[in-house]
Chain A
């Protein structure tokens, strides 16, 4: 086994281990911080798949944006109102059944799919320039619609946050 494979399995271990902590941990802040390593590990998986733009975007959007917001929310609600939010266990059997069904379905898909495995890694990744050309070329309309939706969400969020001050 060469070093790259070892590193790959280290990242797999980090991803799965921290994902398990997110689910199992009773301390919600620890769960939120464990999610950091899960998202980071997924970014590493993208990097191993030669999708470097996706990997970096995953880091920027999920770790830098969504996770920081999540931690902010959890931190502010957890200590400041002096009520410890604990995650409990409810409906164990039903949950186990659904998890088993979902896991079985996913494993079935993984086994039955004919994966198109390249004998050699591609010489160069598609990368940012091609993605940019696609966005501003053949996929311009979906791109613009997505940005309009995001703008509406942004203005809406600002409006909701400011409502108390104006009244």
Chain B
């Protein structure tokens, strides 16, 4: 797609700006769908039916919610730091949106085809941490501050297991560019990295336990980085009201909300690209191609977004000490074993 645009517009910066638009449109549409999905899935898990009156089975409800959020008064607390308070939601969204630049939505579309891909996504998420801290401090509210600090501590801690799990996949594929990683997993379901990639059978059988462990840990760490239950301590309603976004209302709150949803898809998409073939069809060459690629990556990503919603309404919240225990004393050592074992198997 980049080459096509370059042939029309010439090689200039405008091409890169246009390349950045599709993920933004995708995030907004996806947020609408997920808003509806979250309410419906949570309701059915709890034996309710959720929205039924706004349109067929309540499909118009997300639009009604957005209209409500646009109309709401934009309240900034009198004692808040107004500049930082206003800046924080944009910073959080920017950090998440920046990550989408390195996600290949199909063989022909990747926002920025840099060699560093997934490393860049890990780095971009650090802007989110700074944005959350900014929102918590600027609100001038103890709940917000505590929520922001929990959130930052959590994201920084879980970056380590997720980076190590990414390393396991990168060692097998030999590239950080998620488009190259997806290309590497060509040839159907059993060539995906979670099943050892296109290695000889014996190596494959030896490597599967470690890649599967890394995949599940990456997914779990991803849920923690998106601040979702069972890792939603930063916004634990029973103790912190709403955490770092307690004081936010109207569109600023909506931006936090969209950023959280976008982050859910981002972590799912990274896990899908690294371990589940990205835009590759599970049936080998059948049903593959640039358009089908978009379908496959979105469907795989949405499956894990559904999984995250499912977990949210099923599991209770962890305690702070349990949260840190899981990250540092369970996931990190397990992944060191995985990295070592995968390296050994690849060398042998």
Measuring CB to CB, which residues of chain A are less than 8 angstroms from any residue of chain B? 2-4, 7, 27, 29-30, 33, 36, 40, 52-53, 56-57, 59-60, 63-65, 67-68, 71-72, 75, 79, 125, 127-129
Contact = CB atoms under 8 A, between A and B. Distances in A.
A33 to B, nearest CB: 6
A55 B137 CA distance: 28
B223 interface: no
Nearest to A2: B12
23 contacts: A2-B12, A2-B13, A27-B81, A30-B83, A33-B134, A36-B130, A52-B115, A52-B116, A57-B123, A59-B123, A60-B119, A63-B123, A63-B126, A63-B130, A64-B125, A65-B156, A67-B130, A68-B130, A68-B152, A68-B156, A71-B130, A75-B149, A79-B145
Given A56-B123, A64-B126, A128-B116, A75 B14 contact: no
Nearest to B126: A64
Contacts of A79: 145
Contacts of A2: 12-13
Contacts of B145: 75, 79
Interface string B105-127: 00000000011100110111111
Q: Give the size range of B's interface with the partner.
A: 20 to 34
Interface of B is mostly: helix
B159 interface: yes
A125 to B, nearest CB: 7
A72 B116 CA distance: 29
Nearest to A3: B13
Contacts of A71: 130, 133, 137
Contacts of A129: 115
Given A4-B13, A30-B81, A63 B116 contact: no
